[in-house]
């Protein structure tokens, strides 16, 4: 197999269509499936922020509200005169 994904897919396909397998082969495939599931649960990959990096709160919602208030409200901070074509 070329990658872990392909081997994992092979194992899962064998589990789904296991009617033609003998008991020893079924046990080996179920053992491999158990290892795949256990590895996935214990090592899910990188999720979220990078470990050790500082997280900066950018207050995105506050700045979104300020932008809306400045440009898109009924009484914008900057009027049409400011944005007229030159």
Q: Is residue 77 part of a domain?
A: no
- What's the mean pLDDT when you consider all of the chain? 75
From residue 5, alpha-carbon distances to 2, 10, 50, 65 in Å are 8, 9, 24, 44
Q: Is residue 65 part of a domain?
A: no
In this prediction, residues 14-18 reach a mean pLDDT of: 65
In the predicted structure, residue 40 carries a pLDDT above the cut 50: yes
Tell me the whole-structure pTM to 2 decimals: 0.34
From residue 80, alpha-carbon distances to 3, 18, 64, 74 in Å are 59, 71, 21, 12
pLDDT of residue 62: 92
Q: Is residue 79 part of a domain?
A: no
Q: Is residue 76 part of a domain?
A: no
* Percent of all residues in the chain with a pLDDT value above 70, rounded to a whole number: 72
Q: Is residue 58 part of a domain?
A: no
Residues contacting residue 21 through CB under 8 Å, at least 6 positions apart: 14, 29
Q: Is residue 70 part of a domain?
A: no
CA 24 to chain centre: 37
């Amino acid at each position: 197999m070329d990658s872990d994904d392909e081997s994992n897919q092979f194992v899962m396909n064998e589990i789904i269509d296991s009617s033609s397998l003998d008991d020893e082969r079924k046990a080996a495939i179920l053992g491999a499936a158990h290892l795949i599931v256990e590895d996935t649960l214990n090592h899910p990959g990188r999720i979220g922020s990078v470990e050790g990096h500082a997280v900066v709160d950018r207050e995105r919602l506050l700045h979104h509200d300020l932008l809306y208030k400045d440009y898109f409200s009924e009484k914008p901070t900057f009027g049409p005169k400011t944005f007229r074509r030159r």
